[in-house]
Amino acid sequence: MAGETINIKLKIWRQAGQGKPGKFESYEVNDVSVDMSFLEMLDVLNENELKKGNDPVHFDHDCREGICGMCSLYINGKPHGPKHGITTCQLHMRTFKNGETIVVEPWRASAFPVLKDLMVDRTAFERIQQAGGYVTISTGGVPDANEIAIPKTVADEAMDAAQCIGCGACVAACKNASAMLFTAAKVSQLAVLPQGKAERKRRALAMLEQHDSEGFGACTNTGACEAVCPKEISITHIARLNREFTRAAFSGSETDYTN
Amino acid sequence: MSLESKIPAGPLAEKWEKHKFNVKLVNPANKRKFTIVVVGTGLAGASAAATLAELGYNVEAFCFQDSPRRAHSIAAQGGINAAKNYQNDGDSVFRLFYDTIKGGDYRSREANVHRLAEVSTEIIDQCVAQGVPFARDYGGLLDNRSFGGAQVSRTFYARGQTGQQLLLGAYSALSKMINTGKVKMHLRKEMLDVVTVDGAAKGIVTRDLVTGKIESHAGHATLLCTGGYGNVFFLSTNAMASNGSAAWRAYKKGAKFANPCFTQIHPTCIPVHGDYQSKLTLMSESLRNDGRVWVPKDKKNQKITAANAVKLPEEERDYYLERRYPSFGNLVPRDVASRNAKMVCDEGRGVGVTGLAVFLDFADAIKRDGKATIAAKYGNLFDMYKQITDDDPYEVPMMIYPAVHYTMGGLWVDYNLSTNVPGLYALGEANFSDHGANRLGASALMQGLADGYFVIPYTIGDYIATLPLGKAVDKSHPAFAEAEKAAQGRIDKLLSIKGNQTPDDLHKKLGHIMWEYCGMSRNKEGLEKARGLIQELRVEFNRDLKLIGSNEELNMTLEKALRLEDFLELGELMVIDAHNRSESCGGHFREESQTEEGEALRKDDEFNYVAAWGYAGEGKDPELTKEVLEFENVKLTQRSYK
Ligand SMILES: Cc1cc2nc3c(=O)[nH]c(=O)nc-3n(C[C@H](O)[C@H](O)[C@H](O)COP(=O)(O)OP(=O)(O)OC[C@H]3O[C@@H](n4cnc5c(N)ncnc54)[C@H](O)[C@@H]3O)c2cc1C
Ligand code: SF4
Ligand code: FES
């Protein structure tokens, strides 16, 4: 209800820098409006801490609308917190009870080293993307946009996959720290569209190879990633990636399969 | 000093084609001998960096996020305009040009806007080729919608995530070029200064946000693609770290800042709900297609809740937009809708706990079309609204209030997108170029990509071709060391203040001043007062800023303080510009300049110019240069939505 406030306790992972030791610290924040977002609550905590002369809790964020993928946070043991289909920045304090203790940790995966407190380094995702997450064309000289009709269902399927915001929650949730959902989303988007078909073999192989070399684990189909993905990317995309990989690995040319 | 816009001669529709032929070319084999620094990798920067690298230039690109994919462009929802006329409803390059010029209230250049409309069609082709999954109809062709009151359907979209999909397209092109080694991408690095040598831009100084390291990067040309400065107001729909620093630092190195007071205030945002509020969320403009805007007629119902509003009888409601603008009704342009919302709230008829909100009601639309139809159109927006406010728009009216959204002002650029500092360019929201005094919906994405994919790759050659071949920019030039030292000095100074107010405390104060006196409605006395208040606030900042920690670590409080220091100066320039322009146009409403009916009154005799401000030194008033606008193809009319 509007106007209502709660008091909460926080246990937050503090770590001064990469490779430095870290530990949980306890905090209390009182009179938290239930209409606040979770990150606004952390802002309030940080303003209080700063005024006391303490270093604020560092966390990544930018759009605060659930679209840039910058925010992270493992909240009470779940990436992006207890609610389904949203990011941390879209979580509101009305989700929590008065007096509740909330545990906040960074994403934990060896491929995502902690930079400070709750901020991690996700540049491994950049390198997976660079390995093949594109259509190799240059600016200009492309056909008219309506030259190829793409069935609505195919376009919608590509869009479902393209919604991934690259947040890394899938990795954080996975006991193998696998980034297969992230990788599959990009491979899948481009594999279903006619524009991406010409190099689908190369793309699948290159992105998977990069995925493995970054130290992400293998996928054992537990589905934990799908359950926490704020954009509800489906694990059927991983199945498609596996098919892409198998075909690519056992076929000679780019074009000898048509689907 | 006069400013040369370099608009090519000849008929409007032929200018760009002719110019492309006339600009100097750089031999393909020579391009690799030149390095271009690209600051910012949102739509404008990513598209520019990728394309320049494809052409053969070496590119050093920068962003302050941990990935180019997270630039503020990602948040754009509505769509992107293009004059494809796929719907056969009478659209054309000329119509898009005309709508954009008129929408901008005749304060932009004809030639630039026409070029924008021309290349708009190529943007869509390019994005589709990259695999951007635009919405399609059942026949498999691209779908369009009408947006922001436009008379034709020319807006392309990808669910409610158009900016995201366009940015991911540009990011994919950029990633491809990073992989080839032609682009070196610098993440989490923030530009602190532009370096000039003999008056020309030769690179930048950055701070590594993880280690605090200050370092120089040299280039034959530098492109600033750093977005808008709406966050000068503290609260806006922009992302938290969006800032004006790059443009501001360029200004202090000699680049002119054009029309800084032109800000767009978007009418449909979720109202402020408390002091802790960190940003404002935009609710798509499309909601006004079916929602009806109202407040109670009687002041005694001020601050009525949404739940009680449902019970308020029809005759006690004032559908003020429908009443005042019978022909456009709820679909009046953004500036008109915003101003009217402020007016009714100022009269004491605002709703919700703060009294600073109006209703956007879907009850009639649901009655007329059924809940399912409304859900199909707006379901995701209704869910988002509920997520944030805990109110259900299917049951009670939404509450909305205007919020700062976009800045039309920016660095002054000529037709080549070059600032008046040789070798320094500005693209995307960071320049002032195409939207005049008011931007139409779905045209910022278009402009960012036009600048990056299709304009700069041609126009930069004109400058690069004049440079001596094979001469690398020398980072050991003392100008680089000086700029690094100055940046370090600024940081040391801020860290040594050791006062009591956090950057957010001070930024909120600045935001209040800007919103109160340089927001939706402005007047001479208010602007004069604001200037004094901002100057006082700067003194307060320099005396009482509280920071913690050192430069040599991840220090988000320091980052905020550096951005705020620039906002505190930029805010004053906005106020000076608003004071100078004593006419009303577009998003800039001067109370002294209105018709008897209270509508905006433009003064073309006096103000038909771009106000380009130049830095004159610490403590000195900025210098105004006027670039007079010439209209040969459109007739200037007063906008009317009655
Ligand atoms: C909520 C919202 C919805 C919108 N919806 C639409 C819409 O539907 N249609 C439309 O046309 N427009 C829309 N807009 C406007 C549009 O999104 C922006 O104007 C546009 O995306 C700006 O793109 P840009 O490339 O110029 O800048 P940005 O995307 O803002 O990119 C700025 C880049 O600069 C970098 N940067 C900034 N400063 C520095 C520095 N000092 N050092 C290093 N790097 C720096 C950032 O890291 C980033 O990479 C919307 C805007 C908002 C806020
Ligand atoms: S697949 Fe989902 S959880 Fe993983 S990065 Fe993408 S959006 Fe985040
Ligand atoms: S801050 Fe952008 S998704 Fe959360």
What are the pLDDT digits (tens) for B223-256? 999 999 999 999 999 999 999 999 999 999 999 9
Ligand 3 centre and the CA of B53: distance in Å?
30
d(CA B110, CA B10): 12
Cβ neighbors of A58 (< 8 A, separation 6 or more) are A115, A116, A117, A118, A119, B554, B556
* Angle B523-B526-B531 from CA coordinates, rounded to 5°: 120
Most confident range, picked from A68-82, A240-254, B282-296 = A68-82
Residue B609's CB: how many other CB atoms inside 10 A? Answer: 16
Q: Model confidence over B430-440: pLDDT tens digits?
A: 999 999 999 99
- Catalytic residue numbers of B? 334
List, in order, residues 6 or more apart from B291 with CB less than 8 Å away: B330, B360, B361, B362, B365, B398
Per-residue pLDDT, averaged over B44-57, amounts to: 98
Interface contact B136-A155, CB threshold 8 A: yes
In chain B, where are the structural domains located?
A: 266-405, 497-628
CA distances from A4 to A33, A43, A96 (A): 6, 19, 12
> Taking CA atoms, what residue in B is nearest to A42?
B276
In the numeric block, the tokens 């915003």 are attached to: B338
Per-residue confidence (pLDDT) for residue B147, from 0 to 100: 84
Q: Verify whether ligand 3 is closer than 6 Å to residue A47 (CB atom).
A: no
**Chain-chain contact of A195 with B131 (C-beta, under 8 angstroms):** yes
Contacts with B51 from chain A: Cβ below 8 Å: 138-139
Tokens 């690298």 locate to B53
Tell me how far the alpha carbon of residue B595 is from its chain's centroid: 29
CA atoms of B305 and B352, how far apart (whole Å) = 5
What is the torsional sign of CA A165, A169, A170, A172?
Answer: positive
Tell me the pLDDT tens digit for each residue of A154-185.
999 999 999 999 999 999 999 999 999 999 99
Q: Look at residue A259 and tell me whether its pLDDT is greater than 50.
A: no
Is any Cβ of chain A less than 8 angstroms from the Cβ of B453?
Answer: yes
- Tell whether domain B266-405 is in CATH 1.10.287.70: no
Gap between the Cα atoms of B634 and B109, Å rounded: 11
Give me the residue spans of the domains in chain A. 5-115, 123-257
Q: How far apart are CA B439 and CA B286, in angstroms?
A: 16
Nearest Cα of chain A lies from the Cα of B462 at a distance, in angstroms, of 19
Give the tens place of pLDDT for each residue, B173-220.
999 999 999 999 999 999 999 999 999 999 999 999 999 999 999 999
Q: Any CB–CB contact under 8 A between B168 and chain A?
A: yes
Q: Looking at the complex, does the CB of residue B616 fall below 8 Å from at least one CB of chain A?
A: no
A115 closest CA partner among B559, B212, B216, B491:
B212
Residue whose entry in the numeric block shows the structure tokens 């600009």: B23
3-state secondary structure of B63: coil
Could you give the strand order of the β-sheet that contains B257-258, starting from the edge strand earlier in sequence? B410-411, B257-258, B609-614, B623-628
CB contact under 8 A, A145 and B84: yes
Q: What is the H or E stretch that residue B296 is in? A: strand B292-296
Q: Strand pairing of B257-258 and B410-411? A: antiparallel
List B401's β-bridge partners, or say none. B269
Mean pLDDT computed over B100-106:
95
The mean pLDDT of A224-235, rounded to a whole number, is 97
Q: Which helix (H) or strand (E) holds B251?
A: helix B245-252
How far, in Å, CA of B261 to CA of B409, rounded?
7
User: What CATH number matches the domain at A123-257, 1.10.150.240, 1.10.1060.10, 1.10.3720.10, 2.60.120.330?
Assistant: 1.10.1060.10
Residues 6+ apart with CB under 8 A from B416: B6, B23, B425, B459, B460, B462, B463
Query: Which residues, in sequence order, are CB contacts of A116 under 8 Å at separation 6+?
Result: A15, A16, A17, A18, A58, B210, B553, B554
| Ligand 1 centroid distance, CA of B550 (Å) | 30
Q: B66, A155: Cβ pair inside 8 Å?
A: no
pLDDT cut 90: percent of chain B above it = 92
Q: Are B185 and B41 in contact (CB under 8 A)?
A: yes
Is any Cβ of chain A less than 8 angstroms from the Cβ of B279? yes
- Asked if residues B114 and B92 have their Cβ atoms less than 8 Å apart, the reply is no
Q: Would the CB of B408 count as within 6 Å of ligand 1?
A: no
Share of chain B above pLDDT 70, in %: 100
Measured between alpha carbons, how far is B188 from B207 in angstroms, rounded to an integer? 9
In whole angstroms, what is the distance from residue B105 CA to residue B573 CA? 22
C-beta of residue B189 within 8 angstroms of C-beta of residue B209: yes
Among the listed residues A67, A219, A232, the one whose alpha carbon sits nearest the alpha carbon of residue B238: A67
Same fold for the domain at A5-115 and the one at A123-257?
no
CATH of domain A5-115: 3.10.20.30
**Residue having the nearest C-alpha atom to atom 6 of ligand 2:** A164
Q: How far is CA A82 from CA A166, B7, B13, B381, in A?
A: 19, 57, 57, 22
- Residue that the structure tokens 């078909």 belong to: A197
- Contact residues on chain A for B122, CB-CB shorter than 8 A: 140
How many whole angstroms from B426 Cα to the centroid of ligand 1? 13
Atom of ligand 3 nearest to the CA of A64: 1
Query: Which candidate, A198, A128, A137, A139, places its Cα nearest to that of A170?
Result: A128
Separation between Cα atoms, residue B90 and residue B86, nearest integer Å: 10
Whether complex ipTM tops 0.90: yes
Q: Specify the CATH number of the domain B497-628.
A: 1.20.58.100
Do the beta carbons of residue B264 and residue B439 sit within 8 Å?
yes
Instruction: Taking residues B496-502, report their average pLDDT.
Output: 98
Q: The tokens 């209703």 sit on which residue?
A: B359
Give the count of beta carbons closer than 10 Å to the beta carbon of residue B323: 11
CA–CA separation, B12 and B475 (whole Å): 42
In tens, the pLDDT along A44-61 reads: 999 999 999 999 999 999
Place of tokens 């945002």: B269
Separation between Cα atoms, residue B78 and residue B155, nearest integer Å: 8
DSSP string, B261-286: T-EEEEEEEPPP--TT-----B--GG
| CA–CA distance, B27 with B277 (Å, rounded to integer) | 53
In the beta sheet, which residues pair with residue B228? none
Task: Please check whether residue B278 touches A, CB under 8 A.
Answer: yes
Residue A129 φ/ψ, nearest 5 degrees: -60, -45
Inter-chain residue contact A152 with B138, CB threshold 8 Å: yes
CA-to-CA distance for B583 and B259, rounded, in angstroms? 13
Confidence of residue A1 (pLDDT cuts 50, 70, 90): very low
Question: What are the backbone angles phi and psi of residue A33, rounded to the nearest 5°?
Answer: -65, 135
pLDDT score recorded for residue A2: 55
Lowest-confidence range among A87-91, B143-147, B214-218, B318-322?
B143-147
β-bridge partners, B58: B35
pLDDT band for position B1 (cuts 50, 70, 90) = low
Q: Which residue has the higher pLDDT, A247 or B560?
A: B560
**Residue A258 has what pLDDT?**
44
Residues sharing a CB contact under 8 Å with residue B203, sequence separation 6 or more, in sequence order:
B37, B194, B195, B216, B217, B218, B219, B222, B473, B475, B480
Q: What's residue B13's pLDDT? A: 97
- Sign of the Cα pseudo-torsion (B434, B99, B263, B290, in order): negative
Q: A interface mutation test: which of B210, B454, B556 has the most A CBs within 10 A?
A: B556
Quick check: CB of B153 below 6 Å from ligand 1?
A: no
Sequence-ordered alpha helix ranges (H) in B502-634: 503-517, 524-544, 556-580, 604-607
DSSP strand pairing (B221-224 vs B35-39) = parallel
